[in-house]
Amino acid sequence: MGSWNDFNDAQSNTNLIPKGTLAKVRLTIRPGGFDDASQGWTGGYATRGSTGAVYLNGEFTVTEGPYARRKIFTLIGLYSPKGPDWTNMGRSLVRGMLNSARGISDKDMSAEAQAARRISGFADLDGIEFIARIDIGTDASGDDKNEIRSAVTPDHRDYAQVMGTAPLQFSGNAGPSDAPQQSSTASPQTNQPAAHPGAPGRPSWAQ
């Protein structure tokens, strides 16, 4: 036990979830009130920043395990005037989220799987639950913070254990009432990079 005049051996109060942790999370989109019907951005979910970048302001809440109720804030890029990278990262993260939440292998290109990767609007993402791989980035002040850059799909050997159940049944407007159940193949998970501020993007949403 440390002494009360030397705090060099006291625990650091960074309070970060360790990098690489797999956790079940629920996404809440913090509405920004920006709509562009030509891009399919409706419902007031998107936010437009001062630089002209458009994104979803994501609040991811850990639902189970030792970090339950912890919140992680990550932007999901929709558009940046600097180029396509931010959009592509945002779309890749959403693809991974849909695969994870709806129990679809990233390699599955069947009609049912393709339908499960479509959304009718951002409301379909608000409240979605999936398995995230927790990462560590930096905030505007240069301090470390947790963020979510990728989702874990049924291809990952730990998917079923972390999800806690068989893959979820998909029921939505974009496709059939039940998506195919996918078995875990123990093959390496394909990372789905997420968006973070400062990266560029080009609008091509909801196609």
Contact 61, 25 (CB under 8 A): yes
Rounded Cα–Cα distance for residues 104 and 102 (Å) = 6
Rounded Cα–Cα distance for residues 27 and 97 (Å) = 10
Residue 132, pLDDT score: 97
* Helix (H), strand (E) at residue 128: none
Tokens representing residue 172 in the block: 């939505």
What would the mean pLDDT of 113-120 be, rounded to a whole number? 96
Query: How open is the CA angle 93-129-20, to the nearest 5 degrees?
Result: 60
Residue 163 burial (CB count, 10 A): 22
Percent of the chain scoring above 90 in pLDDT: 68
Higher pLDDT, 171 or 83: 83
Higher pLDDT, 10 or 207: 10
Residue 140, pLDDT score: 86
Closest residue by Cα to residue 63 from 92, 24, 102: 24
Contact 87, 79 (CB under 8 A): yes
Residue 9, pLDDT score: 73
pTM of the model: 0.74
Write the pLDDT tens digit of every residue in 91-103: 999 999 999 999 9
Higher pLDDT, 176 or 3: 3
Residue 14, pLDDT score: 66
Residue 12, pLDDT score: 63
Helix (H, G, I), strand (E, B) or coil at 105: coil
Main-chain phi, psi angles of 151, to 5 degrees = -115, 150
Question: pLDDT at residue 130 above 70?
Answer: yes
Residue 13, pLDDT score: 58
Write the pLDDT tens digit of every residue in 133-163: 999 999 888 999 999 999 999 999 999 999 8
Per-chain mean pLDDT for the chain:
82
| 49-53, 68-72, 183-187: range with lowest mean pLDDT | 183-187
Write the pLDDT tens digit of every residue in 183-196: 433 444 444 444 44
Task: For tokens 């049924």, name the residue.
Answer: 154
